[in-house]
Structure 1
Amino acid sequence: MNPFSMLTSEVLGYLSSLFVFVVGLFALLIVVLFLRDITQTKDAIRRNYPVIGRFRYLFTTLGEFFRQYFFAQDREELPFNRAERDWVNLSASGGDNTVAFGSTRSLTPVGTVIFINCPFPTLDEDAVETPSILVGPATRHPYEFNSIINVSAMSFGALSKPAVRALSFGAKSAGCWLNTGEGGLAPYHLEGGADIVFQIGTAKYGVRTSDGMLDDAKLAEVAGLAQVRMFELKLSQGAKPGKGGILPAVKVTPEIAKIRGIAAYRDSISPNRHPEIGNVTELLDRIGYIRAIAQKPVGFKSVIGAYGWLETMFEEIHRRGIESAPDFITIDSGDGGTGAAPMPLMDNVGLTIRESLPMVVDLLCAYGLRDRIKVFCSGKLITPAEVGWAYCAGADSVNSARGFMFALGCIQSLKCNKNTCPTGITTHDLRLQRGLNPMDKAVRVKNFVDKMTKDLNTIAHSCGVGHPRALKRFHCRIVQSNGRSVPLDELYPPIRSTRSIRPAI
């Protein structure tokens, strides 16, 4: 007999036996799953449809990925659609983000922003550098900056070490500042040399005593760092207005726990407000107290819902004197953020930035405080059009969190709170972090800022002004329910104050 034929017969026999074994093993698995499903009592679907019912959960899990890549149109995804993500990705990678054959965006939905182009736009050679903003001129160490997009609050803990390092180096290279978020100051925030805004959350992470109150010595130590330029007292944030920060236990590593001053591998749940701040009087007292220790600008961050308290605060500032005012207010949008949050708060609590930003600017103008208190804003502003609208509405500067996450390579897998982020941005799994090279991503961060600045200038020049901070409300129109657009300055008419400002005695 031919040896080759004998060898072939043996191989076929082996493969046949292996096939029978695999089939038998698969059948045994089906039987085991069938028995487990039909005898358990916690899941009605699996009990009534053993084995087959399990596919429901598989398809549910995979559904969001199939929708994103195969079924969703460029402009219909939430929270950010493919067109928006592609703009950021192409900008961050230094690619060509021009488009052809007309816009894929419908310009008729209610709320659409349309900028009013000038018949005689500003020539490139006549454009001027965006003027700087001076914050806290009465403090010993005021802060002056001219960046028009900055890194919004994202803590070390919510973000991974390589992500924070990339943002630090990228922000320094781009000339913008970096907000620490409420998780305290990590060495990785400082590593790149960027200007830092230190956020003090309700748990006082990084500057807290053992019982969770403000530690003056730790605050003074942080304030002594030259890179730390401002302090932001967080009252609330977009993802969870009325509830403190949430960092799941799996993400509270020993290093993060040490920086925050808490126990490792336990849920990091911040109080839903500062225990010592229960009214506007106590808020102004606390701002003044922190400013006296830090000798640097101090402001607060809040999602706007009720707004009567702002009027009460502005009245109190007039009573005390102009020096008592916060140096800035950061307004966050009520439609979500980057970390873990209860869905009812993320979906239905707090005004969006489209309504709250012009409202706060108008209140400041009405009370004669607009020049004294700077206005920053954040909340889903990741494209030039959205940022341009914010400048038209009256913002002094714009912060972005998710825009910079996309610049780092975020693919919107919606796993920020699971420690399983596939891009290494919001996970502390070292295997997943390995894919994020901080130095490479720092370049993408700079590219994103540069492209945002360039395109914002393009919008400004088209409207006939020399720089984005010169944009006014009459430079844009908002589409209404009847399909027609209305100038923003008609929706929110300019307000001039008749109030006189007196200094504190």
Structure 2
Amino acid sequence: MGTWVMLGLQFMSALFIFALGLGVLFIVYLYIRDVTQTKQAIRRNYPVIGRFRYLFEKQGEFFRQYFFAMDREEMPFNRAERSWVYRAAKNVERMIAFGSTRNLEPPGSILFMNCAFPTLEEDAVPISDVTIGPYCKHPYTTHSLFNISGMSYGAISKPAVQALAMGASRAGCWMNTGEGGLSPYHLEGGCDLVFQIGTAKYGVRDEEGLLSNEKLREVAAHPQVKMFEIKMSQGAKPGKGGILPGGKVTAEIAAIRGIPQGEASVSPNGHPDIRSPEDLLSMIQRVRDVTGKPVGFKAVLGDVKWLERFFDLILDKGEAVAPDFITVDSADGGTGAAPQPLMDYVGLTLKESLPLLVDMLVERGLKKRIKIIASGKLIVPSKVAWALATGADFVTSARGFMFSLGCIQAMQCNKDTCPTGITTHNPRLQQGLDPADKANRVAHYHKYISYGVGLIAHSCGVKEPRLLRRHHVKIVSDHGLSVAMDKLHPMPEERSYVRAEDIIATSESDLSQAVGQSKLD
């Protein structure tokens, strides 16, 4: 009896050791497979254990039925929106079943008004071209509705910039450099670029930190650089300049920006040489004269009295001096680092500021001259379509394209510890982000945004997205019933403005005629 027990124990021990060995070999196999694959940054940076993220994500829909928040309750981007971006970027199934998880009743909810006779596929037309900067030596014409917003090299990593640039080239959209200057990684992707001039003038500053005409010409000499954007303020931190911690200021980034290595890069909270509407108009004209390319500015709207003065100046001088575009950013925009009081409490959201800006331009007859670019949490087709219907000509997004790269909203952008390699300069973490693979995801995401906006447009009965108008949208009001957006924000009639000197000349002419007629009488 004892012998059989001993044999049984030995067999069980051997079986356990064999199973343990198989387990170890299996873990080694998973480890090797994870560190050599380039599709998923989390698995590459955190081999084996990173797989649990996908298991938990898959099981999450079941656990959320009983324990956790639903898809639409996370912030700043809920799980439903992020999930759509992930699926679009991976070019996998984007259909859903059983019903929307979106609550359609809260005030402010957007509803598109479908047409009884939607646009048939054979009647749809391609997205129309738009020309920016008709008075420039080198105007820019593009059809892309959706483009990559400003993300500086430094705020995001080298492989992230490479992936975005290559992806933008494949998608046919533009990429904004952010205020950190023009890096070789922006150029190597082959995409159209918008060079952003921040308050510190990184990349185009002289030794005193002032704007350099010579360096402007050097940047403009690159055929890929299509436009210049003067950043007055940014969504998450209006009234505060760009912030890049010293640990992220590498030798290369320092050289591109023209600042000391290892020291925190903190931009002024405003342009020292732009202190009035007159100064802004002069700066726009200066950059346009030097570069020959379209020039506009980016701002978060708060107080708008300065804009009234700014537009009056344009009407006084003639529309040729106007900015070629205005990028209106939202108070709920994003950034890698910002003081919480600014991020939470300063500036208008896009829901209020976009129709306000559009109406100001329409009233003054400047809407066709000055193109509007909308930016701020517009990462899914419905929100892009809303912006177009409100009056925007283009939409840009930074965080949407970060999600397409694999961002998991870890909220560590300012700590140099981003687990997906997007906002870190740690080589070990960057290795998980393969630019060639992620570039395809960027292009897929752009493709399905455009496709989704087209679906909405055709459902509303128009032939292409740029024909969407405010009457195609209703907004749920406080009492639970929807109100047409053209009633909530009625589009003003264009008024004919004339310059002050024309009024004076006309008055003098009338007076002379009256005097002459009096003498005849």
Q: TM-score range by the shorter chain?
A: 0.7 to 0.9
Q: Within the alignment, does 1:493 sit opposite 2:490 as a pair?
A: yes
In the TM superposition, what is the alpha-carbon distance from 1:501 to its structure 2 partner?
A: 5.8
**Residues in 1 aligned to 2:449 and 2:330: alpha-carbon distance in whole angstroms:** 20
The secondary structure found in structure 2 opposite 1:95 is coil
In the TM superposition, what is the alpha-carbon distance from 1:318 to its structure 2 partner?
A: 0.9
1:161 corresponds to which residue? 158
| Residues 438-478 of structure 1: per-residue CA shift (max 9 Å, x gap) | 00000000000111111110000000001111000000000
**Residues in 2 aligned to 1:121 and 1:265: alpha-carbon distance in whole angstroms:** 58
**Residues in 1 aligned to 2:335 and 2:342: alpha-carbon distance in whole angstroms:** 13
In the TM superposition, what is the alpha-carbon distance from 1:73 to its structure 2 partner?
A: 1.6
Which residue of 258, 266, 270 maps to 2:267?
A: 270
In the TM superposition, what is the alpha-carbon distance from 1:304 to its structure 2 partner?
A: 0.3
2:36 corresponds to which residue? none
| Residues 269-310 of structure 1: per-residue CA shift (max 9 Å, x gap) | 000000011000010001001110010000000000001111
Give the letter for the 2:154 counterpart.
G
Which residue of 228, 236, 239 maps to 2:236?
A: 239
1:176 corresponds to which residue? 173
Mapping of 1:99-498 within 5 angstroms?
Answer: 99-498=96-495
In structure 2, the gaps of 5 or more residues are 10-55, 503-521
Give the letter for the 2:180 counterpart.
G
Give the letter for the 1:429 counterpart.
N
Flag the 1:500–1:267 CA change in 2: closer, same or farther, 3 A: same
In the TM superposition, what is the alpha-carbon distance from 1:72 to its structure 2 partner?
A: 2.9
**Residues in 2 aligned to 1:324 and 1:360: alpha-carbon distance in whole angstroms:** 18
In the TM superposition, what is the alpha-carbon distance from 1:369 to its structure 2 partner?
A: 0.6
Q: Within the alignment, does 1:82 sit opposite 2:87 as a pair?
A: no
Output the aligned Cα RMSD: 2.1
Contact 1:168 1:188 in 2 (8 A): yes
1:21 corresponds to which residue? none
2:41 corresponds to which residue? none
Give the letter for the 1:471 counterpart.
L
In the TM superposition, what is the alpha-carbon distance from 1:502 to its structure 2 partner?
A: 6.6
**Residues in 1 aligned to 2:152 and 2:131: alpha-carbon distance in whole angstroms:** 25
The secondary structure found in structure 1 opposite 2:396 is strand
**Residues in 2 aligned to 1:174 and 1:322: alpha-carbon distance in whole angstroms:** 33
Give the letter for the 1:479 counterpart.
V
| Residues 209-258 of structure 1: per-residue CA shift (max 9 Å, x gap) | 12211011111100111000000000000010011000011111111110
Give the letter for the 2:460 counterpart.
C
Contact 1:239 1:339 in 2 (8 A): no
1:40 corresponds to which residue? none
| Residues 318-356 of structure 1: per-residue CA shift (max 9 Å, x gap) | 111111110000000011313100011011000000100
2:53 corresponds to which residue? none
Give the letter for the 1:135 counterpart.
I
**Residues in 2 aligned to 1:504 and 1:466: alpha-carbon distance in whole angstroms:** 44
**Residues in 2 aligned to 1:289 and 1:282: alpha-carbon distance in whole angstroms:** 10
Contact 1:197 1:229 in 2 (8 A): yes
1:41 corresponds to which residue? none
**Residues in 1 aligned to 2:499 and 2:195: alpha-carbon distance in whole angstroms:** 30
Structure 1's consecutive aligned runs of 4 or more residues displaced over 6 angstroms after TM superposition are 502-505
The secondary structure found in structure 2 opposite 1:318 is helix
**Residues in 2 aligned to 1:110 and 1:261: alpha-carbon distance in whole angstroms:** 48
In the TM superposition, what is the alpha-carbon distance from 1:370 to its structure 2 partner?
A: 0.6
Give the letter for the 1:318 counterpart.
L
**Residues in 1 aligned to 2:285 and 2:350: alpha-carbon distance in whole angstroms:** 27
Contact 2:316 2:500 in 1 (8 A): no
The secondary structure found in structure 2 opposite 1:75 is helix
The share of aligned pairs that are identical, in percent, is 58
Give the letter for the 2:280 counterpart.
L
**Residues in 2 aligned to 1:183 and 1:189: alpha-carbon distance in whole angstroms:** 11
Contact 2:333 2:375 in 1 (8 A): no
